[in-house]
Amino acid sequence: MSPRLTRNVAAFLLLLTSLVGVTALDATDAPAADDERNELPILFVHGFMGSGQQFEAQSLRFASNGYPADRIDAFEHDSLAWPGTRDQVWAGIDAKIDDLLAASGASRIVLVGHSQGTGVSQGYLNSDPARAARVAKYINLDGGAGGSIPESVDGLAIWGEGDSSRTLPGARNVQFADQSHTEVVNSPESFAEMYRFVTGEAPAFADVVRQTGTVQISGRALLFPENAGAHDATMRVWQVEPTTGTHPDGARPVATIELSGDGSFGPLDLEAGVPHEFEITRANAGVHHVYPQPFVRSSRLFRVLTSEPGGLADSFWEPSAKTQNLTVLRNEEWWADQGDRNDGLAIDGHDVLTAQNSPRSNRTIGIFLHDADSDGVSGSVTDPPPTGLPFLTGIDLVIPAGVPAPGTTSVRSTPRNGVGDETVCLPALSSIDHRMSVQFNSYHHLLNPDGSAAEGPADPDCAATPPAVGPSDGDPDERAVSVAPPARAVTARPAFTG
């Protein structure tokens, strides 16, 4: 880990361990702020190691209820550098609000902060009365207890699991005590509270309404975790086969984008309900293949999370000609020590989540699967990287692979809040020149336009996996493998809610 990252993580652990996130304390509906209440622009500010992607599920629910999608946006910043970049961050929020007000014709916005973003947002509101005057409503999502907002700003605080005595003074305070720190940002229950607070009405649809045909996808390709735009790279978007994650020889990409500036792209016209690959290529730096679940409606907050070659993600693992490095992301914590409330995650049919690597207390969002120490044996490393970082976990797993891909890697999620399995299939490309990511959605229930339950997320049967690596004369890339890692005790992660 770089000295800068170590220094900043340590500072945040000290600063934010008090941020944990209550039973409804006041069931009174928030009053309407003004005549713009039904279409006020909404600006989301994320927390530590977060991005605008953490508000995508709620933006889709708002849009499903007819809320203007172009009035919902996110402000992204380098959460590792806060609060040293305070003035720069606040100036960035100023600029975002300028843009939203100019585009909408509204005079005020709704500001939403999550976790560390609640401190950013409250500091912003209290920094200058002129700033507070442009914010009609503020939503505080599972941040630190206490704090304050100006009397002129109408407040709603939504809390997840933890101390039920936490409040944001002057705001309506609500707790969903069985929802974890990031889950509470994206849950249908939180959405209903937010929608009623913003519009003064209950939503017609509590979940995402599926669209058919062509959807428009806009977003940013971001460097994790600093949230700078990916640059000096080419991003190609491919429509891929559901059971392999590949595209036919000779196929053309749906779109080709030269990434620069803040990494923005779109809108892209993509077919709803079919899988796509976002392929990021840099000169002499290999290829990052990112596989989201199939899009179910138009989105303006889609994010492709990548990193610089040799950056943070690359410090977690080593490349291998025979195995795959795989990241699995979801903005809803993975639980594996909660009995019948557990999540499931199976790679090539092998369950990989354990009470040791994904306890509820770790708030796991990002999972890094790789052959730790490149020894060709799953589970041989007790505490594989990443270690000591909140929200992330490492799993020592040999995923057989090669170039060309000798088969398909199956990534099957069984979410505790879902309606069944959700599966993404991708080619088993080895990690010498290829990095693979799967981005699962934090919403699992889909609706038809009439409000009836729609077909759930895709769950294809992936094509055949590669054969396991066979024994050899000691080459670590050729040793016999155990594809199911044994359960092992791991070092406790820091208590952290940034």
Position 310 pLDDT exceeds 90: no
The candidate with the shortest Cα–Cα distance to 85, out of 160, 8, 154, is 8
As a whole number of angstroms, the distance between CA 104 and CA 239 comes to: 34
Q: What is the CATH number of the domain that holds 423?
A: 2.60.40.2200
As a whole number of angstroms, the distance between CA 215 and CA 60 comes to: 12
Say what the pLDDT of residue 20 is. 35
Say what the pLDDT of residue 427 is. 98
Residue 395: which H helix or E strand, with range?
A: strand 392-396
Q: What is the CATH number of the domain that holds 114?
A: 3.40.50.1820
User: Is 272 inside a domain boundary?
Assistant: yes
User: Is 195 inside a domain boundary?
Assistant: yes
Strands 109-114 vs 422-427: parallel, antiparallel or unpaired? unpaired
User: Is 493 inside a domain boundary?
Assistant: no
Both 193 and 224 in a single domain?
Answer: no
User: Is 426 inside a domain boundary?
Assistant: yes
User: Is 495 inside a domain boundary?
Assistant: no
Quickly list DSSP for 207-233: SEEP--SEEEEEEEEEETTTTEEP-SE
Say what the pLDDT of residue 107 is. 96
Both 10 and 48 in a single domain?
Answer: yes
Both 178 and 233 in a single domain?
Answer: no
User: Is 229 inside a domain boundary?
Assistant: yes
Both 168 and 280 in a single domain?
Answer: no
As a whole number of angstroms, the distance between CA 398 and CA 324 comes to: 7
Model pLDDT for residues 56-110, shown as the tens digit of each residue: 999 999 999 999 999 999 999 999 999 999 999 999 999 999 999 999 999 999 9
Model pLDDT for residues 21-47, shown as the tens digit of each residue: 333 333 334 434 444 446 899 999 999
Range of weakest confidence among 4-8, 228-232, 301-305, 331-335: 4-8
Say what the pLDDT of residue 475 is. 52
Instruction: Give me the residues paired with residue 271 across strands.
Output: 214
User: Is 90 inside a domain boundary?
Assistant: yes
Position 454 pLDDT exceeds 80: yes
Domain total of the chain: 2
Both 192 and 228 in a single domain?
Answer: no
As a whole number of angstroms, the distance between CA 360 and CA 202 comes to: 31
What number of other Cβ atoms are within 10 A of residue 236's Cβ?
17
Both 140 and 276 in a single domain?
Answer: no
Both 47 and 87 in a single domain?
Answer: yes
pTM for the structure as a whole:
0.89
Both 302 and 190 in a single domain?
Answer: no
Model pLDDT for residues 431-442, shown as the tens digit of each residue: 999 999 999 999
Instruction: State which residues form the domain around 75.
Output: 3-206
C-alpha separations of 33 from 40, 129, 137, 322 in Å: 10, 17, 8, 60
Q: Which two tokens stand for residue 74?
A: 């996110």
Both 335 and 402 in a single domain?
Answer: yes
Of 206, 234, 266, the domain-final residue? 206
DSSP secondary-structure letter at 388? S
Model pLDDT for residues 362-392, shown as the tens digit of each residue: 999 999 999 999 999 999 998 999 988 889 9
Both 230 and 173 in a single domain?
Answer: no
Name every residue whose Cβ is closer than 8 Å to that of residue 72 and which is 6 or more positions away in sequence: 41, 42, 44, 55, 59, 62, 63, 300, 301
pLDDT tier, 428 (very low <50, low <70, confident <90, very high otherwise): very high
Position 498 pLDDT exceeds 70: no
User: Is 289 inside a domain boundary?
Assistant: yes
Both 14 and 149 in a single domain?
Answer: yes
